[in-house]
Structure 1
């Protein structure tokens, strides 16, 4: 494979990556159908409510055994005018058979009841190193998906994607619940702010490999990139290195710029293609 030459930017700070064609609506690609649901309460996160959007690509039958891809930060990742444009990406890749039949599930972080102004429960949900968020998806969100679609029970047919603290949630989901999640994407994850510090460099080589596949992204000018402590950039590199040494199937992409969703959004089509590894025209993985 020969890749075209692309010069490195001189400055690594104010870098803005241009979106490729998979991140914009394409001629002949029929947009998928999006359904918004409202969860007015939660057992795993009492006192919270949130919205969830289900994305079904054109042509997907409710009877088709399908994969499911969860996205943290719901609307932020689905917004067609936003930095990630998840629905557009799923439509374009599905139209070319580059993903298995798949439902996209975009889950907003919880909002705490009684707060004025409304306060998000995002960090409590995404930065906790335990199985609560993964179990919330499995017990409170997935049943809503299963009411509408024939979702596969195979963990390798279930993935999760997130950025910043959402990246923490994605990796923690596959780590704590490998019985239910087999694929993860993390964009400039905030491993440095996990309570008690980043556990993954020490844990990656312990026990039997959990068998998941992960695409990780690091931003060279992420928060505290040149400091000894709380270094977002270094923590992502060290996490990727630890999983590589432990024999996990990972891919690491490093870009310039700071703690921004821009590069992750640009990478999403390629991250999904690699994560699911379905050659063009293949309907399943």
Structure 2
């Protein structure tokens, strides 16, 4: 990709393990290969870690940032992270080429970021989202039908043996399926993949190339 060529954006939450070339996701390797082969247009991967407060009683701020249903995280991305990237790369303005991606609580953050700012993120890739542990409960099964459809495409992956798969409350599988059903009934462009595994990133690593091809392809008209 030439420096002056405008690029799309893929924000990947939990950047430290999504980026790890020895890990199961290997986000940078996947994205580089897709761009190199011309399977997706020029795209910049932005790997973002959640905050840490050294010395604090609860040093990891991940659940606060990722699980909360508000616009603080996406505002941080758009006012602090993306401008830093834009100083170094020319970015396209088309939301259809801006994607936000995450797994577990990072999947919550990806969904909420696109939900709150569909004018910027045109697709969200959400793997094993932890909707079941959002403070106050998962808002989306009831919120989606009551809200005018947003110009966002959603890719949801869940596992048949995800956390709490066989219990009546805090069931990760059930909350993903309820969210997917609400999106389908509301007419969203949705992809849902259910695998046999539990709460680990193995399936995300397998699916990420196809998910990015789908997210960065022209949306249906």
Sort the TM-score into its range (normalised by shorter chain).
Answer: over 0.9
Q: By how many angstroms is 1:91 displaced? A: 1.5
Q: Kindly indicate whether residue 148 of structure 2 is the aligned counterpart of residue 208 of structure 1.
A: yes
**1:177 alignment partner in structure 2:** 117
**2:39 alignment partner in structure 1:** 98
Q: Kindly indicate whether residue 14 of structure 2 is the aligned counterpart of residue 73 of structure 1.
A: yes
4+ residue runs of structure 1 moved beyond 2 angstroms? 113-116
What is the TM-score with the length of structure 1 in the denominator?
0.74
Inter-partner Cα distance in structure 2 for 1:223 and 1:131: 26
Inter-partner Cα distance in structure 2 for 1:82 and 1:213: 27
Q: By how many angstroms is 1:61 displaced? A: 1.8
SS in 2 for 1:70: strand
Match of 1:150 among 45, 66, 90: 90
Q: By how many angstroms is 1:83 displaced? A: 1.3
SS in 2 for 1:151: coil
Inter-partner Cα distance in structure 1 for 2:143 and 2:22: 38
**1:115 alignment partner in structure 2:** 56
Q: By how many angstroms is 1:203 displaced? A: 1.1
Match of 2:80 among 136, 140, 152: 140
Q: By how many angstroms is 1:232 displaced? A: 0.2
Q: Kindly indicate whether residue 187 of structure 2 is the aligned counterpart of residue 268 of structure 1.
A: no
**1:82 alignment partner in structure 2:** 23
SS in 1 for 2:176: helix
Inter-partner Cα distance in structure 1 for 2:217 and 2:157: 18
Equivalences for residues 123-272 of structure 1 within 5 A:
123-272=63-212
Q: By how many angstroms is 1:62 displaced? A: 2.0
SS in 1 for 2:145: coil
**1:47 alignment partner in structure 2:** none
Inter-partner Cα distance in structure 2 for 1:144 and 1:195: 31
**2:3 alignment partner in structure 1:** 62
**1:11 alignment partner in structure 2:** none
SS in 2 for 1:112: coil
What is the TM-score with the length of structure 2 in the denominator?
0.95
Unaligned runs of 5+ in 1: 1-59, 279-285
Structure showing greater Rg: 1
Q: By how many angstroms is 1:75 displaced? A: 1.6
Inter-partner Cα distance in structure 2 for 1:208 and 1:254: 27
Inter-partner Cα distance in structure 1 for 2:169 and 2:142: 17
SS in 2 for 1:125: helix
Please state which structure has a larger fraction of its residues in helix. 2
Q: By how many angstroms is 1:154 displaced? A: 2.0
Taking a change above 3 Å as real, the CA distance of residues 151 and 220 of structure 1, as seen in their structure-2 partners, is same
Unaligned runs of 5+ in 2: none
Q: By how many angstroms is 1:208 displaced? A: 1.7
